[in-house]
Structure 1
């Protein structure tokens, strides 16, 4: 009885730590410079910093793990309320094409560079997805699909955050010299920058029209998180099946032809994300309620990011993070060049 009570107290303590870090990140994200990084990224950094200076009780880890896994999925589901699928369709085929081309190009480029640099497969995939789709949120959503370790998730999310912040500052400085209209710059920022926070910050100099279009294009990329997550989940399942068959064949050569039926991965949280998008598109929830739920979504995601940060040591990031930064940086430069070219090519400059 006593042990059970203490277990619940420590579990609640672990949850409370991630909640406090998430709330701290929310308020820090209001500050001028830190707003570029956003709540999710700051939550990871706060978690990593706390882990570096304080010893977290082992008994509190189940509560922290709950934030990193269960609350993560709940946050992803609620994040679907950000999307109005009708607005994305109205953006027009050219904008959709630019977003899709940039996304596919970045996925293959960053992952290819990662493999060339001999980065671990899952870490390379997460870095590619974070760069191509929507930063830390994409990393968090893809990680369960490819069964990535917590330290891989945290490192790739931090890498994408660093790169996105750097490119946000570069875009803001170069905007007056790009020769793009407000709408053209909005499309460029929305189709190439990493986090939603990065897009909002970088598009601000283009005024309300440019900023609104930038966010719309960015959310078009967020929608593409769904098919990418499904495809990667299927590929991971097929890969595991091949490995299992090889192991089974090595142990029992006469059983080579036998095949086990396995269920396809059904990412229920991705289905929930789509469901929430549909509910928002149909206007079934009042805008004020949807806004509150989106705030809750970011709080839950920030708690999950704080949990990831609490699981990573600075030495791990120093050891694992350098090559992903190189791959992501090179891929981001190529993405910017491609995005700039596509805006001109489609006549949207």
Structure 2
């Protein structure tokens, strides 16, 4: 029924395409939120499926990048520098610890070296962006990339729903929760989504620290090329972070541009909500099952360790 194509006014369509379009429209309204959008995407993926899977894969990454740049118009450079300083030590320690732990647990599980490194980098730095950057350096196969991305995206979905209730239960401050999100949640989309659900200050801290963390893609990719003895590879630099910094500097030092800030931030949040719907719509049960239990076990162990360790340190030091 939902897959059968019909013709209206000379245009062929299927009902599942109509459902997809209606959800997209809903994500553009004030009633939608990042967790709701992700849940709708997951529901669509498990039932009707994503009718535009090929197109949404291309759109999702760009939409996320533009949304992050838009969030920069709501940031203050002075506050961002302070947040970055607070998160620097946590960032260095957690990245190094995650990569070492991932290597040890991966060997114990008997997983391939490239899959282990991809999942570890995704957990340590910034989820899918890190995997997309490190994968070509490793010359990873398509199935290895898919396994790593599937593992990270499933755990991202869990984190987006789980973190805000935990933060409220522990009475975490906005600053503490934003810092915890930036360190313990893989992908920038879920970091921003969870922090936005907690509060504006948490969103500012989380976005700043996470993007500063994402810059570690570059040294980690270079280290990967050296450790795996790969020559003649190109390292993918996350240039959208530069766009975020420029937007933040404009908002801080160009008074005439400040009235545009609230509009740009509102558009960015809408873009983020839509991004999470598209991510959820790509996580079909087939994708989840194709990963297999061992990569999920590795990803879960790394995620739990970094989440609990960073939570303990943040609650006792920040």
TM class by shorter-chain length? 0.5 to 0.7
Q: 2:298 aligns with which of 327, 330, 339?
A: 327
> 1:88 and 1:237, CA in 2 relative to 1: closer, same or farther beyond 3 A?
same
Q: 1:278 aligns with which of 239, 246, 249?
A: 249
2:133 is aligned with 1:145: yes
The match for 1:292 is 263
> 1:216 and 1:230, CA in 2 relative to 1: closer, same or farther beyond 3 A?
same
In 2, Cα distance between equivalents of 1:14 and 1:122: 37
> 1:183 and 1:321, CA in 2 relative to 1: closer, same or farther beyond 3 A?
same
Residues 288-313 of structure 1 deviation map (CA, whole Å, 9 limit, x = unaligned):
42232233334334444444444442
Structure 1 contact 280–290 (Cα < 8 Å) conserved: yes
Structure 1 contact 43–303 (Cα < 8 Å) conserved: yes
Q: 1:230 aligns with which of 218, 221, 231?
A: 218
In 1, Cα distance between equivalents of 2:308 and 2:281: 36
The match for 2:60 is 68
Please provide the CA RMSD for this pair.
Answer: 4.6
Residues 75-126 of structure 1 deviation map (CA, whole Å, 9 limit, x = unaligned):
3443444543321323585554345434543455456545643556676566
> 1:326 and 1:279, CA in 2 relative to 1: closer, same or farther beyond 3 A?
farther
In 1, Cα distance between equivalents of 2:265 and 2:24: 15
In 2, Cα distance between equivalents of 1:291 and 1:125: 40
* Deviation of 1:317 (Å): 0.7
TM-score by length of 1: 0.61
Q: 1:313 aligns with which of 257, 264, 284?
A: 284
Q: 2:80 aligns with which of 85, 88, 98?
A: 88
* Deviation of 1:162 (Å): 0.7
Instruction: Name the larger-Rg structure.
Output: 1
More helix by proportion, 1 or 2?
1
The match for 2:161 is 165
Residues 231-259 of structure 1 deviation map (CA, whole Å, 9 limit, x = unaligned):
355456678983xx7xxxxxxxxxxxxxx
2:244 is aligned with 1:269: no
In 1, Cα distance between equivalents of 2:22 and 2:108: 40
The match for 1:54 is 48
SS in 2 for 1:230: helix
Structure 2 contact 115–147 (Cα < 8 Å) conserved: no
Q: Give the unaligned 5+ runs of structure 1.
A: 1-8, 31-37, 205-210, 246-260
Structure 2 contact 28–274 (Cα < 8 Å) conserved: no
Structure 1 contact 78–273 (Cα < 8 Å) conserved: yes
Structure 1 contact 98–191 (Cα < 8 Å) conserved: no
In 1, Cα distance between equivalents of 2:303 and 2:278: 27
